[in-house]
């Protein structure tokens, strides 16, 4: 690691570095009063996200003890086999589609053997399936009651049945299930390719958040997959921006002040909203987004980023 200084850096940027890379402090501090040294502090510290710590062999005993405690705690209300290990847990739910159609909330558990939706109080397993019986697991975009697009999880089993699940981090749960299965699962719809969970493009991106007094640029990470375009801040638990290719109605350049050294930003228009994005390599983002949206739409309303004039090029 080399010391860097970026005047555009914000608190979310610092948190992102702490979680993903880590910081090592080597500090000698002397506190003096009237030029008389009174207190000396000698500090050697490493600060990083837990995953980074574990990657470099630190805090492994704590991780093992914590995992053991979680296993014991969960077993008190969720029956598990002797050799069954919990891989992930997050808030989730199961859509009951019989005589009474409704979402039943609980927690989503991924174990080494099963995918489970379980409610703790009163204790009840709302839905479960063995990993070996899962034929496909794919994201499913649908509007919520308030009109916001939400990503659900569509699970198809080898007996032909389908179930719809919700999860706090649906993409992460899908990826973990695929990894646990040990092989890529076939998609259940024609729109989602087998590589849709793999980013077509990913990197630093700013999103212009509309506020009552105008707007403010927020730093975060943009991710483009075969399924959707998302933007997420390190401070958010879920993606704040999520757009599928079929939702894009217009894609063009716009001159706007932004945190990068580019004079233009990317304007993405859907039926419900207008999204403004900035990035150091915004030209590369446009090329990827243009191909991405065109592949899903027969007649996409995509604007031309550059228009030739007698005086040269002009940005829109």
Q: Tens digits of per-residue pLDDT, 107-148?
A: 999 998 999 999 988 889 999 999 989 988 999 888 766 667
Q: Which residue has the tokens 């598990």?
A: 80
Same domain, 160 and 231: no
Whether 133 is in a domain gets the answer yes
Same domain, 95 and 155: yes
Same domain, 36 and 129: no
Same domain, 180 and 222: no
Whether 11 is in a domain gets the answer no
Same domain, 222 and 249: yes
Going by the DSSP 8-state scheme, the letter that residue 3 receives in this structure is: -
Whether 304 is in a domain gets the answer no
Same domain, 142 and 231: no
Look at residues 121, 151, 185 and tell me which one is the last residue of a structural domain: 185
Q: How confident is the model at residue 183 (pLDDT cuts 50, 70, 90)?
A: very low
Whether 217 is in a domain gets the answer yes
pLDDT tens profile 236-264: 667 788 888 888 888 899 998 898 888 89
pLDDT of residue 3: 65
Same domain, 207 and 172: no
Look at residues 185, 219, 239 and tell me which one is the last residue of a structural domain: 185
Q: Which residue has the tokens 């991924």?
A: 110
Residue 188 has pLDDT above 50, yes or no: no
CATH code of the domain containing 275:
2.30.29.30
pLDDT of residue 17: 76
Contact 285, 205 (CB under 8 A): yes
Could you give the number of structural domains in the chain?
3
pLDDT of residue 19: 74
Contact 168, 200 (CB under 8 A): no
Same domain, 270 and 234: yes
pLDDT, averaged across the chain: 80
Same domain, 114 and 167: yes
In terms of residues, how long is the chain? 316
pLDDT of residue 109: 93
Whether 212 is in a domain gets the answer yes
For every residue of the chain, DSSP letters joined together read: ------TT--HHHHHHHHHHT-EEEEEEEEEEETTEEEEEEEEEEEE--HHHHHHTT-SHHHHHHHHHHHHHHHHTTS---TT--EEEEEEEEEEE-SSS-EEEEEEEEEESSEEEEEETTTTEEEEEEEGGGEEEEEEEEEE-TTS-EEEEEEEEETTS-EEEEEESSHHHHHHHHHHHHTSPPPPSSSSS-TTTTS-SEEEEEEEEEEETTEEEEEEEEEEE-SSEEEEE-TT-SS-SEEEEGGGEEEEEEEE---SSS-SEEEEEEESS-EEEEE-TTHHHHHHHHHHHHHHH-SS-----SEEEETTEEEE-
Same domain, 135 and 213: no
Using alpha carbons, select from 2, 52, 63 the residue that is nearest to residue 22.
52
Same domain, 111 and 155: yes
Whether 1 is in a domain gets the answer no
pLDDT tens profile 293-312: 776 554 444 444 444 333 33
- Show the domain range for 173: 81-185
Same domain, 172 and 132: yes
Q: What is the mean pLDDT of residues 35-62?
A: 84
pLDDT tens profile 70-104: 777 777 788 888 888 888 889 999 998 877 888 99
Strand ranges (E), 183-262: 201-211, 214-224, 228-232, 241-244, 248-255
Whether 36 is in a domain gets the answer yes
């Amino acid at each position: 690691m080399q010391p860097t200084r970026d005047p555009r850096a914000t608190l979310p940027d610092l948190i992102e570095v702490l979680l993903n890379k880590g910081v090592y402090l080597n500090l000698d501090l002397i506190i003096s009063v009237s030029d008389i040294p009174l207190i000396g502090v000698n500090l050697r510290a490493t600060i990083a996200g837990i995953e980074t710590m574990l990657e470099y062999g630190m805090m492994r005993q704590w991780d093992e003890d914590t995992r053991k405690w979680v296993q014991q705690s969960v077993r008190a209300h969720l029956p598990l086999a002797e050799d069954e290990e919990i891989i992930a847990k997050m808030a989730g739910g199961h859509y009951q589609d019989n005589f009474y159609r409704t979402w039943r909330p609980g927690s989503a558990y991924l174990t080494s053997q099963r995918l489970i939706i379980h409610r703790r109080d009163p204790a009840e397993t709302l839905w479960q399936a063995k990993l070996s019986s899962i034929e496909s697991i794919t994201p499913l975009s649908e509007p919520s009651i308030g009109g916001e697009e939400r990503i659900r999880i569509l699970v198809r089993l080898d007996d032909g049945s389908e179930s719809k699940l919700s999860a706090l981090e649906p993409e992460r749960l899908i990826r973990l299930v695929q990894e646990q299965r040990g092989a890529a699962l076939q998609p259940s719809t024609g729109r989602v390719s087998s590589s849709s969970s793999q980013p077509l493009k990913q990197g630093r991106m700013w999103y212009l958040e509309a506020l009552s007094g105008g707007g403010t640029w927020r730093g975060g990470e943009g991710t483009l997959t075969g399924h959707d375009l998302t933007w997420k801040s390190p401070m958010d638990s879920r993606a704040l921006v999520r757009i599928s290719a079929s939702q894009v109605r217009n894609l063009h350049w716009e001159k706007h002040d932004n945190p990068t050294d580019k004079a233009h930003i990317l304007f993405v228009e859907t039926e419900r909203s207008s999204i403004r994005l900035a990035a150091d390599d915004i030209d590369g983002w446009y090329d990827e987004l243009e191909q991405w949206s065109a592949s899903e739409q027969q007649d996409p309303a995509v604007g031309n980023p550059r228009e030739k004039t007698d005086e040269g090029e002009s940005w829109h």
